[in-house]
Structure 1
Amino acid sequence: MSRMPDPDLIPLPLVHERRAGTFAVDTGTAIGADGDARPAAWVLHDVLAGAGVRAPVVPAADPSASIVLRVGEPVRDHPEGYRLTVTPERTVLDGGTGPALARAVQTFRQLLPPAALRRAPVADGPPAIECCHIEDAPRFDWRGVHLDVARHFMPVSFVLKLIDLAALHRLNVVHLHLTDDQGWRLEVPSRPRLTEVGAWRTETVVGKETDAFDGTPHGGYYTLDDLREIVTYAAQRSITVVPEIDLPGHVQAVVAAYPELGNTGRPIEVRRTWGISPHVLAPTDEALAFAREVLGTVLDAFPGPWVHLGGDECPRTEWRESPAAATRAAQLGLGSVDELQSWFLRALHADVTAAGRRVVGWDEVIDDGGMPADTVVMAWQDGARGPAATAAGHDVVMSPQQVTYYDHYQSDGADEPLAIGGLTTVEDVAAWEPAAGAGPGRLLGVQGQLWTEYLPTPAAVEYAAFPRLNALAEVAWTAPARRDAAGLLRRLPEHLRRLDALDVGYRPLDGPLPGQRGGTGRRRRP
């Protein structure tokens, strides 16, 4: 007997059994849910509204409920494990937690015809889904996507769209890179110049390694209400937003706003070019107090368990040239000024952990003095950095640039739009098997990065993200024994119809559309 083909679902569930018949989602549909099941039920309500079905949310025991969400015993011994059973008369979604039902709702969403995912109905009749039985649970606890909103500011509407797309693919972390040399994107009421000055640059370099500028101011920032909206929207989908405040390097926008926090005290501008700025925070009590003020705002705005402190690419040049930095390092008993980053981040680590949260940092935080073992390390430089971090006792999120940096080129074609460099194909991502050594630290999961130096618009971000992020979602969710790179590539064309319905400007598998090509202008591939 031949094996039934896998369903066109991404990520692929652990168990999917086709059954006879279909379940119609029509005007008589009602959604039954109680207690912790109700947030996921309301998300499903909104999904169905786009298909023209106004399904009320009623108590789970209501006889009218033809879709029922139930919180009960864990499925497959995992807090995000779920069971989805579709019969001609009824659909039941079971899980041990609210987040488990959130994942089940997104699988139900993918079972709908692609046209039903639009904002308004386009089909002649109500949508129907094939009857089936699904049991599922994730491989990793951290399944993330990172968005850099500092190099190019992204509107709240797009951040919400990315959160929704992350949910569709059963990701559970959206990491926002909120600050960098080229812009500060977070309102801090006690430090108004961060958004009056630091959020704006006068112009932006054009192309790659050129002396040309566009002459157009760029910037923006999120108010505290913006951030509350983002966090709440994500929480409704059981997604955690991880804020990143990059310290003590990548701070030229900070020093432009408050020159006294730098090592020279001289005025500078928000950086107009890419690359790594030499300007870093001075190792002073004033700079540490500033960082603590910012952290106070961050901890209030983002209730999740993790706070990312950056810690990457921090040049020591200014510290090595500063007698004051040398004196401070000696007073602290450090081996050299190179260890000032570790001192600075350890001080902030104490504040974050005192607030009941956990620090995350890029993999440089394990160097030059290191960090406490409870710091989560994002291993980005290469595949060896993960094992080095777990060997030092850190839990790790594997984020190696060679396979998870989606600002890299997607093919070697001359018509690809300008990118930072590299080459990462969807096939590369689909074939990746993450590993982080023998420990004692744990491999928490994986994350895809969307750095935006060369992704100036939401459309450019979508082109870079998809379909590579589709493939990463399967790496993150589906057990290795069940996962098949070739199978994923076979399922992608049908899945991309869902992205069409959701108005996602992904890169087609056979190359960019005419409007996505680099052409001969500013987005030309050199």
Structure 2
Amino acid sequence: MILPRPVSFTRGDGEVPFDGTFQVERVAGPAEGYRLSVSAAGVRVRASDDAGEFYARQTLRQLSGPAAFRAVPPGAVALPVCEVEDHPRFAWRGVMLDVARHFLPKHDLLRYVDLLAVHKLNVLHLHLTDDQGWRFESRRFPRLHEVGGWRPDSRFGDRRSGGLAGRPHGGYYTQDDLREVVAYAAQRQITVVPEVDVPGHSQAAIAAYPELGVSGGGVWTDWGVNPNVLRADESTVDFYRQVFDELLDVFPAEVIGLGGDEAAGGDGRFVRRIAQHLHQRGRRPFGWDEVLGVGPLPARTIVASWRGEEPGLTALDRGHDVVMCPEEHVYLDYRQSDHPDEPIPVGTVTTLEDVYRYEPAAADRVLGAQANLWTEHLDSPRRLDYAAFPRLCAFAEVVWSPAERDEAEFLARLAEHHLPRLDALGVEYRPLAGPRPWQALPGVPGHPR
């Protein structure tokens, strides 16, 4: 009944009343781990650290029934007599959320922090900038968010259709907004890793300050890979050093994303110098796996392996830490079935079961894995819910639970116990049998592979 599945769960006889209070003590054990005992003598938690105590609380919430996930939970409940021993398999259990293509208002972003916490995920990777939008307030260069934060239109479905939606889109987070998100996440044992993408995917910045780009143009209204990249001259590098310094003032995370992906004709010197700047500031650069081709990087650079897992294995051989996030396994914006009503079907079919079967390569050597939610076709919180859940539930179990998995048992536990929790939370997930009529988007073109 617990999701993600704990290391061990032993059910006893009967139930005991629980009013929300329990004993806590610190004990030696694996990082983020805990042991939970429910007996006639009461509820006792022995945790390795603050994170372990927090995850024990999440487990107690699950054992309390779906109503415990409502905004006004019940008072006293009955818990099953049980013993739980638990700790995560991977240190990095992440979700990348693209708020650049479609802006997610702060209220909804905070809600996603809560949803990650429910699933014992501990990294929120925020993709803050791209060709289609700049979402980080810059007090040094305000045109970045004032101009780059808005685009006049968006593609209608897949870019190959050539259609446009006919409405502007935009928004940005103030620095105070983001400090609030960081603090809110920290209370839930989640680290927020920001990303400002360079030297490609930078059209929104170039629209604000044309001298930054190889060529000009406005904030992009298309999807895909924009051939326009940042100039690699010293003035542009210095501009971005200042932008990243602002980012470091807001985000205390040790890891800071610099992108480095899909930069047609991009200059590796640019990526190297920004990575070195972050290193000199005491942070760890975090880049997509294309950064392996730009030349020597600081040894502490973390590589996100998205173009399959081979780049990640190469990065390990070069001494870098790696987060596995291969598109064929954990891109949750990809279509969930061949169902004719699947909304905006793009990419390959990645079913709930496919995600559950994913086993990260070199599991004993990598930091962990993350699921990626790109939002070209996820233009609202409802669409985001549909794409993320329940596949994110499966991913959470992959990165938390022991490697041995029983798919049938997981699906039964998901349907009987966990989907009712998502219902209580108001998550508009994709039903296991297929989309509800109002979740389909007939007439909006996709591009299935």
Q: TM-score range by the shorter chain?
A: over 0.9
2:62–2:68: 8 Å Cα contact kept in structure 1?
A: no
2:148–2:208: 8 Å Cα contact kept in structure 1?
A: yes
Q: Deviations over 1:489-522 (max 9, x none)?
A: 12110211100000001111111111111223x3
CA distance in 2, matches of 1:276, 1:256: 16
Q: Which residue is equivalent to 1:69?
A: 24
Write the letter of the residue equivalent to 1:492: L
Q: Which residue is equivalent to 1:253?
A: 204
| Aligned counterparts, 1:274-313, within 5 A | 274-313=223-262
Q: Deviations over 1:409-457 (max 9, x none)?
A: 000011000043211001111111111389xxx3110100000001111
1:415–1:525: 8 Å Cα contact kept in structure 2?
A: no
Cα 1:370–1:487 change in 2 (3 A) is farther
Q: Which residue is equivalent to 1:90?
A: 42
* TM-aligned CA deviation for residue 90 of structure 1: 1.8
CA distance in 2, matches of 1:436, 1:366: 18
Q: Does 1:508 align with 2:434?
A: no
Aligned structure 1 segments of 4 or more residues deviating by more than 6 angstroms: 523-526
| Aligned counterparts, 1:435-454, within 5 A | 435-436=361-362, 442-454=365-377
* TM-aligned CA deviation for residue 523 of structure 1: 6.5
2:157–2:445: 8 Å Cα contact kept in structure 1?
A: yes
Write the letter of the residue equivalent to 1:176: L
Q: Which residue is equivalent to 1:460?
A: 383
Equivalent position SS for 1:408: coil
Q: Which residue is equivalent to 2:403?
A: 480
Write the letter of the residue equivalent to 1:423: V
The one of 405, 410, 413 aligned to 1:491: 413
Q: Which residue is equivalent to 1:117?
A: 69
Q: Which residue is equivalent to 1:227?
A: 178
Q: Does 1:369 align with 2:295?
A: yes
* TM-aligned CA deviation for residue 263 of structure 1: 1.8
Q: Deviations over 1:76-112 (max 9, x none)?
A: xx11111111123421222121111111111111111
Write the letter of the residue equivalent to 1:487: E
TM-score (norm 2): 0.96
**Larger mean Cα displacement after TM superposition, 369-378 or 352-361:** 369-378
Q: Deviations over 1:108-134 (max 9, x none)?
A: 11111101211125x6x7322212111
CA distance in 1, matches of 2:34, 2:281: 32
| Aligned counterparts, 1:160-179, within 5 A | 160-179=110-129
Equivalent position SS for 1:416: coil
Q: Deviations over 1:326-383 (max 9, x none)?
A: xxxxxxxxxxxx6x22x21221222212222111100000014252332111100112
Write the letter of the residue equivalent to 2:69: L
CA distance in 1, matches of 2:114, 2:167: 31
Write the letter of the residue equivalent to 1:222: Y
Write the letter of the residue equivalent to 1:102: F
Write the letter of the residue equivalent to 1:485: E
Cα 1:525–1:356 change in 2 (3 A) is closer
**Larger mean Cα displacement after TM superposition, 369-378 or 292-301:** 369-378
Cα 1:201–1:301 change in 2 (3 A) is same
Structure 2, unpaired ranges of 5+: none
CA distance in 2, matches of 1:436, 1:285: 39
Write the letter of the residue equivalent to 1:396: V
CA distance in 2, matches of 1:119, 1:525: 39
The percentage of counterpart residues that share the same residue type is 48
* TM-aligned CA deviation for residue 385 of structure 1: 1.9
CA distance in 2, matches of 1:437, 1:15: 20
Q: Does 1:432 align with 2:358?
A: yes
Write the letter of the residue equivalent to 1:15: S
**Larger mean Cα displacement after TM superposition, 245-254 or 127-136:** 127-136
Write the letter of the residue equivalent to 1:112: S
CA distance in 2, matches of 1:295, 1:368: 19
| Aligned counterparts, 1:302-341, within 5 A | 302-316=251-265, 340-341=267-268
Q: Which residue is equivalent to 1:99?
A: 51
* TM-aligned CA deviation for residue 467 of structure 1: 0.9
CA distance in 2, matches of 1:407, 1:385: 22
Q: Which residue is equivalent to 1:11?
A: 4
2:161–2:445: 8 Å Cα contact kept in structure 1?
A: no
Q: Deviations over 1:311-340 (max 9, x none)?
A: 000010xxxxxxxxxxxxxxxxxxxxx6x2
Equivalent position SS for 2:410: helix
Which one has a bigger Cα radius of gyration?
A: 1
* TM-aligned CA deviation for residue 207 of structure 1: 1.9
**Larger mean Cα displacement after TM superposition, 150-159 or 103-112:** 103-112
Q: Which residue is equivalent to 1:194?
A: 144
Q: Which residue is equivalent to 1:244?
A: 195
How many equivalent residue pairs? 446
Higher-RCO chain (CA-CA 8 Å, sequence separation at least 6)? 2
